[in-house]
């Protein structure tokens, strides 16, 4: 095998691009869960534009707080959720800082961290591996939110078409299609083998900086190999029969698609098609279907305290939380809520000021002893949000001591 590979070898498969990097040295010149008969599940919901802080956060702390205008929409689940104040990742960047919501780390600063900017859901998905048909399901309206990231810093775009998600979950491919898919997986595996062996042979010719690049590249190859193996293992296994009618329409990113997506994600968890799921609400999608909303969501979120825009923003945020209430009720009816930890929040607090500080964060379900409204120190001794994420991963069953910028676990709830 010729060790001098072309500068770029690109493999495109399963939505992941692998490119051999350019090497300068080769150029000339919470506590772990108890045993349970039911598996634990993780569902993360992220809204790019955050939630209007005065309407989201209660004024009092503890279990006897007066429900805020936004949280009134999920008041009937009051005993099953906890809202948190003064948690964030100590990052800036406004819209660009939102990408750190489930990671704690922006992509630009990830090189100094062993796991780069991997997101919470993907750590959980790696723990699940091929136990379920899909290690994780990433869905959302549109494509404008950067919430899910692999350990190699690759963004995972959401499935933004309900019909496509329905097909992946419940429509069994015919024998001919499965044969073609098996052949495709085999061919990709062969290419990966060749790339891996050729890349390894380069190691002795590289300086330390380029060796680090090569190690990152080989990690990417291993990630794709694992996904190929998972896909092949489930290729011939029958898919579950859905409890809803087939979805065939080509949907567009309207806010009124949220309940349909939530139903599909609930079914995905209920049928054990996955145990890790995310849903992303971007900053650009249609909200004019809602009564008395005339402007786009992004525009009204930048309200500058104008009464007209704030009134429309309240309608949108009330609608979102009405659907969250419906989601929690659906999980409860399916007897999943006590075994599903639902994370709701954003990497932005106030879109009108582009603030990434004091993020809106809510945890629901999971069989936890919920505490109403928990407020962490606002100034000195601030608690990193990654402490909460670390506890969530431990709740999910991972034995680990760090995640992102965590300094310890969040022992006040778990």
Structural domains for the chain: 1-29+174-237 (no CATH), 40-172+250-396 (3.40.720)
Query: What pLDDT is attached to residue 410?
Result: 93
Query: What pLDDT is attached to residue 379?
Result: 83
Rounded CA gap, 48 and 53, in Å? 14
Query: What pLDDT is attached to residue 269?
Result: 95
Strand-pair partners of 11: 18
Rounded CA gap, 336 and 366, in Å? 9
Query: What pLDDT is attached to residue 225?
Result: 58
| Strand, helix or coil for residue 83 | strand
- β-pairing verdict for 361-365 and 81-85: antiparallel
Q: Do 392 and 87 form a contact (C-beta atoms < 8 A)?
A: no
Rounded CA gap, 342 and 396, in Å? 12
Query: What pLDDT is attached to residue 4?
Result: 39
Q: Do 45 and 344 form a contact (C-beta atoms < 8 A)?
A: yes
Strand-pair partners of 83: 362, 373
Rounded CA gap, 173 and 318, in Å? 39
Query: What pLDDT is attached to residue 289?
Result: 79
Query: What pLDDT is attached to residue 196?
Result: 67
Query: What pLDDT is attached to residue 227?
Result: 59
Q: Do 88 and 377 form a contact (C-beta atoms < 8 A)?
A: no
pLDDT per residue, tens digit, the chain (414 aa), is 333 333 333 333 333 444 445 444 444 444 444 445 789 999 999 999 999 999 999 999 999 999 999 999 999 999 999 999 999 999 999 999 999 999 999 999 998 898 999 999 999 999 998 899 899 999 998 766 689 999 888 889 898 888 888 988 888 777 777 677 667 666 666 666 666 676 676 766 777 777 776 676 666 666 655 655 556 666 677 888 887 888 876 556 677 889 999 999 999 999 999 999 999 998 877 787 788 888 788 888 888 888 889 999 999 999 999 999 999 999 999 999 999 999 999 999 988 899 999 999 999 999 999 999 999 998 878 999 999 999 999 999 999 999 999 999 998 888
Which of 59, 68, 63 is CA-nearest to residue 321? 68
Query: What pLDDT is attached to residue 35?
Result: 45
- Residue positions counted in the chain: 414
Phi and psi dihedrals of 77, rounded to 5? -110, 20
**What is the chain's alpha carbon radius of gyration, rounded to the nearest angstrom?**
22
Query: What pLDDT is attached to residue 86?
Result: 96
């Amino acid at each position: 095998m010729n060790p001098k590979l072309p500068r770029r070898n690109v493999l495109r498969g399963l939505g992941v691009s692998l490119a051999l990097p350019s090497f300068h040295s080769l150029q000339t010149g919470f506590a772990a869960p108890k045993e349970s008969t039911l598996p634990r599940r993780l569902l993360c919901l992220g809204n790019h534009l955050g939630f209007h802080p005065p309407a989201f956060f209660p004024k009092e702390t503890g279990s006897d707080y007066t429900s805020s205008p936004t949280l009134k929409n999920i008041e009937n689940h009051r005993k099953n959720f906890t809202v948190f104040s003064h948690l964030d990742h100590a990052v800036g960047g406004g819209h660009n800082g939102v990408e750190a919501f489930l990671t704690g780390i922006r992509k630009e600063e990830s090189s100094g961290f062993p796991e780069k900017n991997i997101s919470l859901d993907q750590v959980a998905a790696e723990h699940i591996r091929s136990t379920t048909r899909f290690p994780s399901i990433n869905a959302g309206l549109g494509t404008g939110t950067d919430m899910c990231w692999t350990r190699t810093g690759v963004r995972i775009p959401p499935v933004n078409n309900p019909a496509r998600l329905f097909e992946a979950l419940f429509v069994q491919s015919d024998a001919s299609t499965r044969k073609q898919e098996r052949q495709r997986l085999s061919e990709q595996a062969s290419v990966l083998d060749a790339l891996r062996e050729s890349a390894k042979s380069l190691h002795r010719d590289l300086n330390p900086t380029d060796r680090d690049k090569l190690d990152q590249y080989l990690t990417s190859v291993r990630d794709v190999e694992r996904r190929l193996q998972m896909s092949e293992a489930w290729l011939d296994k029958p898919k579950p029969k859905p409890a809803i009618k087939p979805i065939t329409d080509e949907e567009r990113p309207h806010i009124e698609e949220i309940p349909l997506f939530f139903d599909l994600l609930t079914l995905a968890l209920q049928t054990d098609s996955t145990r890790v799921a995310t849903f992303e609400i971007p900053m650009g999608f249609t909200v004019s279907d809602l009564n008395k909303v005339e402007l786009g969501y992004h525009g009204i979120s930048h309200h500058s305290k104008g009464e007209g825009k704030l009134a429309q923003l309240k309608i949108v945020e009330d609608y979102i939380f009405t659907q969250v209430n419906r989601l929690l009720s659906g999980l409860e009816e399916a007897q999943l809520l006590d075994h599903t930890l639902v994370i709701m929040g954003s990497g932005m607090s106030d879109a009108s000021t582009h603030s990434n500080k004091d993020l809106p964060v809510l945890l629901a379900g999971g069989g936890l002893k919920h505490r109403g409204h928990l407020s962490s120190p606002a100034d000195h001794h601030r608690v990193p949000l990654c402490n909460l994420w670390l506890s969530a991963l431990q709740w999910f069953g991972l034995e680990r001591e760090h995640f992102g910028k965590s300094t310890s676990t969040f022992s006040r709830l778990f």
